[in-house]
Chains A and B, each alone.
Chain A
Amino acid sequence: GAGVSQTPSNKVTEKGKYVELRCDPISGHTALYWYRQSLGQGPEFLIYFQGTGAADDSGLPNDRFFAVRPEGSVSTLKIQRTERGDSAVYLCASSLSGPNTGELFFGEGSRLTVL
Chain B
Amino acid sequence: AQSVTQLDSHVSVSEGTPVLLRCNYSSSYSPSLFWYVQHPNKGLQLLLKYTSAATLVKGINGFEAEFKKSETSFHLTKPSAHMSDAAEYFCVVSDLAAGNKLTFGGGTRVLVKP
Contact = CB atoms under 8 A, between A and B. Distances in A.
B111 to A, nearest CB: 16
Contacts of B46: 102-104
A109 B43 contact: yes
A103 B49 contact: yes
Given A102-B32, A102-B34, A102-B51, A3 B101 contact: no
Nearest to B32: A102
Decide if the interface of chain A is mainly helix, strand, loop or mixed: loop
Nearest to B50: A102
Interface residues of B, number: 24
B101 A45 contact: yes
Interface stretch (A36-44, A67-75, A78-86): A36-44
Interface in B53-70: none
Contact of B100 (A42, A99, A103, A106): A99
A31 to B, nearest CB: 11
Interface string B84-105: 0000001010100001111111
Interface of B: 4, 32, 34, 36, 41-46, 49, 51, 90, 92, 94, 99-107
